[in-house]
Amino acid sequence: MTFLQWYDTLAKPSWTPAPGTISFIWTLLYPVIAVTFGYVFLQSFRGKIPWKIAALFAVNLLANLLFMPIFAGLRHVSLAAVDILIVWASLLGCIIAIWPFARWVAIAQAPYFLWVSIAMVLQMAIVAMNWNS
């Protein structure tokens, strides 16, 4: 069974975006993530931003990149929910931590944070709706 076939079998809220919409939004977000995270890592390497902040960004990036292998590869909705919580919490931490050093980076995370917040609520709903499946 392909991922989309499996995904179609899951109970989802009526407001769930179509897979194409989800992909499109990530296509818009990933360049912003690449530029801002790259800036943080570069400035951290140069000693202008503390390594602890870059490490928080690295945690967020890793958790973000692990979501699809967990959700689509392992097809584990509950573990994917834990992962999206890590993405959300680490992103909030990133925004707060980077603010004194690069406000533009913090502000640029707003669409990412909004989308991850929506994705987190969606993932929690999927877990709840498929708990006994």
For the stretch 28-37, pLDDT in tens is 999 999 999 9
The residue ranges of every structural domain in the chain are 19-129
pLDDT tens-digit map of 40-71 = 999 999 999 999 999 999 999 999 999 999 99
pLDDT at 133: 65
Cβ 49 vs Cβ 40: under 8 Å: yes
- pTM, 2 dp: 0.95
pLDDT tens-digit map of 63-95 = 999 999 999 999 999 999 999 999 999 999 999
pLDDT tens-digit map of 85-124 = 999 999 999 999 999 999 999 999 999 999 999 999 999 9
